Amino acid sequence: MADSAAKREIDSVGSDELSHKVKKAKGDSENGQGEVGKESENVLSGFKTSSVLSDSAREKNIFVRGKLADQDAVVILEKTPIREDALAELFSGSRLRLEMRNDIYSTYRLQAPPHLNEIKTTVVCPATEKHVKKYQRQESFLVEETGEDYQSITLPYIQKQSFSIQWVYNILEKKAEADRIVYEDPDPEVGFVLLPDFKWDQKQVDDLYLIAIVHQRDIRSLRDLTSEHLPLLQNIFQKGKEAILQRYKLPASKLRVYLHYQPSYYHLHVHFTKLGYEAPGCGVERAHFLADVIQNLQSDPHYYKTRTLFFPLRADDGLLSKFKEAGRL
């Protein structure tokens, strides 16, 4: 998801000056100590580009591989949305350079004031090959997974290959990102933490994106859910919508609430996005409405244990190879 799991993995770095800057900047972020809004040291001044992994003119982002403090790194650059409350200053404080004029149509290059022309930047350092593959543009394939396939192919694979989720436990234990929490129900059985996803810059609700992370630690994904988890799911559905209405004045009728399968990290979490915002992974091949999940479990307590599920996998995904080896693709 650039998703949260890949953005948060961290290891130690070297002792030279640039390495110290990278380590300090990441350490502050990981421990929730970085001061939001405060200008930071330019840890990217020594970044050396080696390749562009992928880019999207439509989504206005680019994923770049390179070296930072002699370590592999991935830098993600994303243009931030234009905010309605900044339009007056944008129109009055920018410079225009005419490119073309024809009858009633004119096109310009607009040079906005620097603070209105920010680029959201995410640094993954040190980056592993998993990160590089994750962000690299590749062909995708739709996989058909039966309940038996999950037990014999998928589960053994994810137990060995999934990203570390220590960053999840840091959030739940208030060791990191405590200041970003929008709402929390601390109950160990039905409780969860609701906080903004890193894909949302929190400057407008048009692209609202929050994640509810459950306190229970033994639920990996949709496949683990049974009717025993209905109180948890119903609690997330109800209280998550209430918290978003109170904080962002956005009613439930304007929300898309769903789970991913396959998820990007194997600790149960629920996505809350604004309806109309085409969030990454909200398509039918990966997203499952929470309301549908609840109804399915009410009808069949073990629905997701036996149900055949479909999901996309990228060409270099190791799980795709496992399905091919088993003759399932």
Helix (H, G, I), strand (E, B) or coil at 237: helix
Q: Which of 185, 201, 205, 202 is nearest to 193 (CA)?
A: 185
pLDDT value for 237: 98
Determine contact, residues 68/125, Cβ cutoff 8 Å. Answer: yes
Q: Between vectors from CA 51 to CA 321 and to CA 54, what angle results, nearest 5°? A: 60
Contact status, residue 279 vs residue 249, Cβ threshold 8 Å:
no
Average pLDDT for consecutive 10-residue bins of the chain (329 residues)?
40 35 42 56 87 83 90 90 87 92 89 88 86 79 96 93 83 94 97 93 90 97 98 98 97 97 95 92 93 98 96 88 91
Q: Let me know if 269 is a catalytic residue.
A: yes
pLDDT of residue 4: 42
Contacts of 15 (CB under 8 A, 6+ apart): none
Q: What is the pLDDT of residue 281?
A: 87
Domains and CATH numbers, the chain: 1-79+120-136 (3.30.200), 81-117 (no CATH), 138-325 (3.30.428.10)
CA distance 194 to 241: 10
Indicate which residue of 269, 271, 288, 302 is catalytic: 269
- If you ran DSSP here, which 8-state letter would residue 81 be given? P
Angle between the N-to-C axes of helices 290-299 and 230-248, in degrees from 0 to 180, rounded to the nearest 10: 160
Decide if 314 contacts 320 (C-beta within 8 A).
yes
Cα distance between residue 186 and residue 175, in whole Å: 15
Q: Which residue type sits at 264?
A: S
The whole-number pLDDT of residue 292 equals 98
In this structure, what token pair is assigned to residue 274? Answer: 């604004």
Beta strands in the chain (DSSP E): 48-56, 61-68, 71-79, 95-102, 105-111, 119-124, 140-145, 183-185, 192-196, 209-214, 255-260, 269-274, 287-289, 309-314
Name every residue whose Cβ is closer than 8 Å to that of residue 180 and which is 6 or more positions away in sequence: 32, 195, 196
